[in-house]
Every structure is written in C-alpha cells, then in structure tokens.
A and B are shown apart, each in its own frame.
Chain A
Amino acid sequence: RKEVEQDPGPFNVPEGATVAFNCTYSNSASQSFFWYRQDCRKEPKLLMSVYSSGNEDGRFTAQLNRASQYISLLIRDSKLSDSATYLCVVTRSSHGQNFVFGPGTRLSVLP
C-alpha cells in the first residue's frame, strides 16, 4: 500500500462547481499535513496546511480525520484558474520535515 493515496482523477468540472478531493495516509504517526497545488511543469506551491479542527481559506476548506487517517479538500465556486494538480502531503514523524507526496489529483475547470 502506498504511504499516501489520492483520488485518481482527473476531475473535469464546470466553472462554479464544488469539487472535493480525498486523501488517505498509512502512517498513523504522521504529524503535519498539507495541500499543495502544482501547475504543469512548475514547482508545487503551498495551498494550505490541514488541521484536525478543519480550516478554511476563502473558497477552500481542508479537513483532517486522524482516526480515519483521511484528509479532504473542498473547493467551492471553482474558477478556471483552479485548474491544476492537487497534491496531498504528509510528513514522516520520525524524519522531521520529510515530506511524502501523494500521486496528485488533476482538476480541470471548464468554461
């Protein structure tokens, strides 16, 4: 089983749609969780950190369920500019900041 798994995608949605991404991780000792977005042929950019209490940043909402080892990202009122690959990232607790990336879920927002 992979350390981090994500919805296989791709997701093709119309502008204005709400879309949800799911992610599961296998290491119960993981300490930090993030969503990054990566545009084609570019580096990943931090979208948001994920907390057990849930957090929201504008149209984006992230949730963490430690018991189920599950992370989600909800995008409301999607824009064309949201088209990208969304990467779920967890840290390995025994290696401090070492990141483990999920395979990513590609989103295409269509006009």
Chain B
Amino acid sequence: GAVVSQHPSWVICKSGTSVKIECRSLDFQATTMFWYRQFPKQSLMLMATSNEGSKATYEQGVEKDKFLINHASLTLSTLTVTSAHPEDSSFYICSAGQGVENEQFFGPGTRLTVL
C-alpha cells in the first residue's frame, strides 16, 4: 500500500504554545488528505479534509482558527494546533487516499501531550 509519514511521532508542549504536525505522502501525490483525532479508548474522529491549493473543510464542532491546516503541495499537509490546552492532548493521525476503491492509508500518528 501507499506510504504516509508523520512528523513528529510525539510531542510534549506547554499550555498556550502552538504545535505543528506534518503529514507527507511518500510515494504518491495526494490532492486530498484527512486529519483525525483519537482520544484514549475511543475511535478515530475526522477533524478536517485538507485540499491541496484550497481551504480545508472542517467537521462540525472543530474550530478552524484553532486547528490550522495548510496543504501547500501534493505531498505535504500540515496541522497546527494553536494555543494548545491540556484537553487538546490526543493522538492525531493523517491519511491520504490512493486506492481505486477509495481506501485510505494512514500515517503513524502523532501523540500530543499538552502540560
């Protein structure tokens, strides 16, 4: 399957700081990438759809000014968590689709801990 990478794999930051997470498609071009969040013992929840060259589409209840998404190229999307708070601590996972049957391939995830 296609390879998607994320960086960093984990990050610890102080409350009020901003954190940037990168998602890269390594062996294919992705016009669309997806950002998910997963809290402990819960399933993945879609946060937003990142579209290359245009604004991201956010799911209901996700603050677009807090979770800034930039998809500047066909292989890179970034998620910036601005003014992070402890309740933003979570596992953030990106994905990109390449399969002919619309399957998605996931990055390894970024574990964010806000102190």
Contact = CB atoms under 8 A, between A and B. Distances in A.
Please indicate whether A and B come from the same complex rather than being unrelated chains. Answer: yes
Interface stretch (A11-19, A39-47, A63-71, A73-81): A39-47
Contacts of B106: 43-45
A91 interface: yes
A87 B43 CA distance: 8
Q: DSSP majority for the B interface?
A: strand
A52 to B, nearest CB: 13
Contacts, number: 51
Given A42-B109, A97-B32, A31 B42 contact: no
Contacts of A46: 1, 103-105
Interface residues of A, number: 22
Interface residues of B, number: 23
Nearest to B108: A43
A43 B43 contact: no
Contacts of A95: 49
